[in-house]
Amino acid sequence: MLRSQLIHPAISRILAEAGHHATILIADGNYPASSKRGPRSELVSLNLMPGLVTCNQVLEAILSAVSVEAIQTMMTETSGPYALDGDPPVWADYRETIRKANIDVALEPIEKWEFYNRVSTVDHVLTVQTGDTQRYANILLTVGVRMF
Q: What is the pLDDT of residue 34?
A: 92
**CATH number belonging to domain 9-143:** 3.40.1650.10
- CB 28, CB 126: distance < 8 Å: no
pLDDT tens-digit series, residues 23-61: 999 999 999 999 999 999 999 999 999 999 999 999 999
pTM of the model as a whole: 0.96
pLDDT in tens, 76-109: 998 999 999 899 999 999 999 999 999 999 999 9
Domain definitions of the chain by residue range: 9-143
Looking at residue 110, the DSSP 8-state letter turns out to be E
Angstrom distance (rounded) from CA 128 to CA 131: 10
Spatial separation of the C-alpha atoms in residues 126 and 21, rounded to whole Å: 12
